[in-house]
Amino acid sequence: MGRKVGNTEGNSGKIREPVIVVSDVHLGGTSSHCKDFRDFLEWLNTLSDEGTSLNCNGNKVDIEKPGTIVLLGDILELWDPEEDDRNYVISDVLTTISILNSIDCDIIYVIGNHDEDLLDFKKVWRKKRVEHLNKGKGTFKMFYRSYPKTNKRTEIKGITIGKKNYAFLHGHQFDRFQVFYKLSRFLSKRLNKQVRIDPIDWFQDLANVSFTKNIGLKLNGPTLIFCLLLVLYGLVGYYWFKDTPIGSGLGILWIVISSFFVLTILPKVVTFLNTEIWRRIPGTIVKKCKPIEEVIKERYVDKKGGKIDADIIVFGHTHNAGYYQKEPKKDERLFINTGCWVKLSKKCIEKEAAIPNTFLYIDTESLYLLKWDKEKVAKGEIKCVEDFREVLS
């Protein structure tokens, strides 16, 4: 206790301590614990600069007001918002940002796969050289894929806090289902520039154009009907207009009607069915909250891991808070999953013992994976998922 908030003594000097890390809030999504997250941010703002003592599983832990908050991807649900309408994202974000901006700290945002559209904003901010967005109290910095950012050889060199180096990434890098992410990365390497390929996101953009949304096609029930109409339209149109010159009146009518379908009904159908089909693929719900040990054993390999120069690798994505260290006695790398702030399925809770509303607390002397609960915190208590202080010694 007693360290000054924003301390950089004993670290690289590039990040203010203490550091709070959260991931997978999915603001604007149907399952987001948006209110809990706001309450959590309000609580962070009430923490003492000198430290607040809490009872954590029978032990006392000291939590100070953060010098840096790392938002580790999928904070916004731009890929699968409620009712496929990104206005829900805007609604959730406005209040959340106002709270976040009131905290005297730096904010680091690492873009995830569900909020990858923020890459477009990042490019605009870079052109305008916008950095100080946090009421002048701190900086707001956005990073694509990892923090610290990769160098030209796609290597990640961790940032020093105390005696350890930390690397932060969202975690979809370890997900074999992220085909378009891998393709984008491959092309980025070959072309030496950022390339993004995501057809579903293209349809999501079209589905959120004001004109498209105002069509009023609610696909919660009659989705199949619209799909059948789309197919029927294509078949009928083909037989009716296959011999019609494009420049004729009927040809132009065909183009206009086709464009209407492509710009309105098709994006709605694709975005809705994308979610519904994904949810019905056997095992995908459980895979979404796969334990960190399985993630690392299945997807993390030495060849890829050799490009991450860090003692501790922090990520999210799979919604299951936890940690894994292959051989602690040999000082192997420690992997920590920061968990999520969403409603978890019954299978995730029962089969994988996943818990929501978790965050990571880092400073020179402390490293805790904690679960936030408003009622317990009001009583001076907090659940400690894991205390890593021995790792720091």
Among the candidates 280, 315, 342, a domain finishes at 280
Number of domains in the chain: 2
Low-confidence ranges of the chain (pLDDT < 50): 1-2, 136, 216-222, 283-286, 303
Nearest to 333 by CA among 325, 323, 345: 325
Judgement on whether residues 109 and 37 belong to the same structural domain of the protein: yes
Residue 2 lies in a domain: no
1 in a structural domain: no
10 lies in some domain: no
Residues 73 and 155 in one domain: yes
Please check whether residue 6 lies inside any domain of the structure.
no
Q: Are residues 177 and 314 in the same domain?
A: yes
Domain boundary among 234, 258, 280: 280
| Per-residue pLDDT at 371 | 96
> Is residue 79 located within the same domain as residue 172?
yes
Domain residues for the domain of 170 are 19-196+286-392
Are 306 and 170 in a shared domain?
Answer: yes
pLDDT digits (tens, 9 = 90+) for 287-332: 578 889 888 887 766 545 567 889 999 999 989 999 998 776 666 8
Q: How confident is the model over 73-109, as pLDDT tens digits? A: 999 998 888 877 888 999 999 989 889 888 889 999 9
**Domain-terminating residue out of 280, 304, 319:** 280
pTM of the model: 0.79
Residue 262 lies in a domain: yes
Does residue 5 form part of some domain? no
192 with 227, same domain: the answer is: no
